[in-house]
């Protein structure tokens, strides 16, 4: 398959998917080694930006996904009547930060760091699928443990958890 | 004439304490307990005057601070370890500083997340309105079924959606190909004749595929419910072992 056709195919696959598509998956479909596939995606990424196209390729939650250029945000919000999508409350953000760094973590551990009860915050985060119940801690009461989800990475535009900066000392 | 007083909103006692330390412009480790306690109480007082609801955690922290302060004023006295449970469990200024420091680090992390959120809110990611596609490459894709309730819930939701859209043949038709009653008889018969404990997979013909596995599993559950067989498992997700329920046989003999 020639290069241009490979790029077109990747663009089409990303267009069809609303979830991030993993590099391995694309390599598998193109029947190419990963490194080469990564180069082709990078080229396509560059092409789209250079041609000022309305779609761009973003690396989120361990894969590639199509999205709109950030500089269009204002115009798009007006066009589709969506306001900056309700932000998360400070309480929820603090809780998420603790879960992201200490996962899997129990409610008691989170509450001990924040100094406040977190039951409702956790419920809301579960509903928004930013966190999930990832197991139970061995010990008295076997409390539930919480971890972040792929949606968490998508929401914050993170490729992977490793992208979080190390906690300050 | 009325005044509008704006008080900053704090996420919790640590948040308020952290704010006070910052306002005092000193390092967390240098703050005096007496001073911070005074400011903390003054803040609670102003909240009270404004008829604001004060969450109980704020009051517990006030008590914790006062105890710390009094401990520092009074000559030290060895005290037996307390059994009572305390939310904060802070017994020395060092512990308080450590906890504040830990809280501060996560507050920083939360600020990083807020920045990323704002950045990401400028990008609208491709959405197909909930329709999900399965990409098939050269290698077969398998779902990891037991990744946790989060994933399982998602699989069931998608399954229900597909079924509701009548995009696939009704589930019942599939199950009828493997009558559960037949499987039950087969399993019980085999267990009885062998007189041994057998693993679940001994009853499942791999060529039968998913429906076969479902039918066998339902049959096993039904036999267990009727207390005809006993099920064992040495650990979660471990191998499932089956045997004839001997206690039930005994019961029946006694009854006869």
- Chain A residue closest to B154 (CA)? A129
Yes or no: say if A110 and A95 are a contact pair by the CB < 8 Å rule: yes
In a shared domain, residues B53 and B116: yes
**Res A109: pLDDT:** 93
List the domain boundaries for chain A: 3-80, 90-163
Summarised one tens digit per residue, pLDDT across range B141-157 is 444 444 445 556 666 66
> Range of B240's domain?
171-255
Mutate to test the interface with B, among A25, A85, A94, A149 (most CBs of B within 10 A): A94
Is B158 inside any structural domain? no
Residues of A in contact with B57 (CB under 8 A): 115-117
Where is pLDDT greater, at B12 or B170?
B12
Average pLDDT of the residues in A83-96: 82
Q: Give the SS3 label for residue A30.
A: helix
Q: Give me the count of residues in chain B.
A: 256
Evaluate whether A3-80 and A90-163 have a shared fold: yes
CATH 3.20.20.70 correct for A3-80: no
Measuring CA to CA, which residue among A66, A167, A101 is closest to residue B127?
A66
| Residues B175 and B112 both lie in one domain | no
- Shortest Cα distance from A110 to chain B (angstroms)? 10
- Residue B154: what pLDDT? 65
* Helix, strand, coil tally for chain A in percent (to 5): 55, 15, 35
Mean pLDDT of chain A: 90
Q: How many interface pairs between A and B have CB atoms less than 8 angstroms apart?
A: 142
Q: Are B26 and B110 part of one and the same domain?
A: yes
Q: What is the pLDDT of residues B196-254, one digit of tens each?
A: 888 888 887 767 667 777 888 888 888 888 888 888 877 767 778 888 887 665 555 55
Q: How many CB atoms lie within 10 A of CB A11?
A: 18
Q: Is the peptide bond before A159 cis (omega within 30 degrees of 0)?
A: no
B103 and B187 inside one domain: no
B112/B208 same-domain check: no
Predicted confidence (pLDDT) per residue in B14-24, tens digit: 888 888 888 87
CA proximity to B126, closest of A17, A139, A62: A17
Reported as a single tens digit per residue, the pLDDT across A46-81 is: 999 999 999 999 999 889 999 999 999 888 888 876
What is the number of structural domains in chain B?
Answer: 2
Model confidence band, residue A94 (pLDDT cutoffs 50, 70, 90):
very high
pLDDT at B83 over 90: no
Distance from CA of B91 to the nearest CA of A (A): 15
Provide the chain B residues 30-89 that lie in CB contact (below 8 A) with chain A: 55, 57, 61, 87-88
A28 and B112: CB-CB below 8 Å? no
Angstrom distance (rounded) from CA A41 to CA A47: 10
Q: Which fold has domain A90-163?
A: Arc Repressor Mutant, subunit A (1.10.10)
Q: Is B8 inside any structural domain?
A: no
Q: Distance from CA of residue B72 to its chain's centroid?
A: 40
- Chain A residues in contact with B90 by the CB 8 A cut-off are none
- Report the CATH number that the domain containing residue B237 is assigned in CATH: 1.10.10.580
Interface touch B135/A29, C-beta < 8 Å: yes
Instruction: Tell me the pLDDT band of B89, cut-offs 50, 70 and 90.
Output: confident
- List pLDDT tens digits, range B97-144: 888 889 999 999 999 999 999 888 888 888 755 445 555 555 444 444
**Mean per-residue pLDDT for B177-196?**
83
pLDDT of residue B142: 41
Residue to test with chain A: of B86, B126, B152, B155, most A Cβ within 10 A: B126
pLDDT value at position B49? 81
> Angle CA(B242)–CA(B243)–CA(B249) in degrees, nearest 5?
145
CA-only gyration radius of chain A, Å: 20
The string of pLDDT tens digits covering residues B165-174 is 554 444 444 4
Q: Within a domain: residue B32?
A: yes
Quickly state the pLDDT bin for A14 (edges 50, 70, 90).
Answer: very high
Whether residue A83 is predicted with pLDDT greater than 50 in this model: the reply is yes
């Amino acid at each position: 398959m020639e290069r241009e056709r490979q790029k077109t195919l990747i663009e089409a696959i990303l267009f069809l998917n609303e979830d991030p598509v993993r590099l391995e998956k694309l390599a598998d479909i193109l029947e190419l080694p990963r490194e080469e596939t990564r180069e082709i995606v990078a080229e396509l990424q560059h092409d789209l930006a250079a041609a000022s196209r309305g779609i761009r390729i973003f690396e989120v939650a361990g894969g590639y996904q199509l999205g709109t250029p950030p500089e269009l945000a204002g115009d798009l919000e007006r066009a589709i009547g969506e306001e900056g999508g309700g932000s998360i409350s400070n309480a929820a953000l603090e809780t998420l930060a603790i879960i992201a760094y200490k996962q899997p973590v129990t409610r008691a551990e989170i509450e001990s760091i924040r100094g406040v009860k977190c039951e409702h915050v956790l419920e809301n985060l579960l509903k928004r699928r930013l966190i999930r119940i990832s197991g139970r801690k061995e010990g008295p009461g076997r409390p539930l443990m919480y971890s972040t989800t792929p949606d968490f990475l998508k929401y914050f535009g993170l490729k992977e958890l490793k992208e979080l900066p190390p906690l300050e000392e | 004439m009325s005044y509008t007083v704006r008080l900053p909103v704090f996420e919790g006692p640590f948040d308020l304490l952290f704010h006070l330390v910052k306002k005092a412009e000193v390092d967390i480790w240098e703050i005096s307990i007496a001073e911070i306690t005074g400011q903390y109480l003054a803040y609670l007082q102003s909240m009270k005057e404004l008829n604001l609801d004060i969450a109980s955690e704020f009051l517990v922290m006030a008590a914790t601070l006062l105890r710390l302060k009094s401990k520092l004023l009074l000559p030290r006295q060895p005290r037996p370890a307390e059994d009572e449970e305390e939310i904060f469990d802070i017994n020395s200024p060092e512990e308080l500083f450590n906890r504040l420091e830990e809280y501060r680090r996560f507050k920083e992390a939360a600020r990083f997340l807020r920045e990323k959120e704002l950045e990401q809110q400028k990008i609208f990611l491709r959405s197909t309105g909930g329709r999900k596609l399965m990409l098939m490459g050269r290698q077969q894709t398998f779902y990891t079924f037991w990744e946790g309730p989060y994933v399982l819930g998602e699989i069931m939701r998608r399954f229900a959606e597909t079924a509701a859209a009548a995009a696939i043949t009704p589930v019942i038709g599939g199950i009828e190909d493997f009558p559960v009653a037949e499987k039950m008889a087969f399993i019980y018969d085999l267990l009885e004749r062998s007189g041994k404990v057998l693993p679940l997979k001994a009853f499942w013909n791999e060529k039968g595929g998913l429906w076969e596995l479902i039918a066998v599993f339902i049959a096993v559950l039904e036999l267990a419910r009727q207390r005809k067989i006993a099920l064992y498992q040495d650990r979660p997700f471990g191998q499932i072992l089956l045997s004839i329920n001997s206690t039930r046989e005994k019961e029946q003999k006694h009854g006869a």
